[in-house]
């Protein structure tokens, strides 16, 4: 097979940087209570909401790549099921590719 790890040929979109964790700020020792201003708290809440929405979107995109056999009676997969089935599916596709070489 050809070299390179480009997935572009498989129609997989480039993974947006928003799905990757951003480098965090320095952590305070455990148990340190810091009073956060209402505005900072609100900003942090907004960021967390956006992070969760981004994660949900990423998982939704991932579920769309999984064949219907993995979904359970029309129930949407949980986050962990989505990740486990994705790993399983990649393994199956890898085996398939290796068997036709």
Q: Give dist(CA 58, CA 37) in Å, integer.
A: 31
Q: Which two tokens stand for residue 49?
A: 């909401």
Domains of the chain and any CATH numbers: 35-100 (4.10.280)
User: Within 10 A of 101 (CB to CB), how many other CB atoms are there?
Assistant: 5
Give 21-52 as a DSSP string.
Answer: PPPPPPPPPTT---PPPHHHHHHHHHHHHHHH
9-60 tens-digit pLDDT: 444 555 555 555 556 666 767 777 778 899 999 999 999 999 999 999 999 9
54-79 tens-digit pLDDT: 999 999 999 999 998 888 777 889 99
Q: Give dist(CA 99, CA 41) in Å, integer.
A: 54
């Amino acid at each position: 097979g050809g070299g390179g790890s480009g997935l572009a040929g498989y129609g997989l979109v480039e993974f947006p940087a928003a799905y990757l964790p951003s480098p965090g700020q320095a952590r305070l020792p455990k148990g340190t209570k810091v009073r956060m201003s209402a505005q900072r708290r609100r900003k942090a809440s907004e960021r967390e909401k956006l992070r969760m929405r981004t994660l949900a979107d990423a998982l939704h995109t991932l579920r769309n790549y999984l064949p219907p056999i993995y979904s359970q009676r029309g129930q949407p997969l949980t986050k962990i099921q989505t990740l486990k089935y994705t790993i399983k599916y990649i393994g199956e596709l890898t085996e398939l590719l290796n068997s036709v070489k």
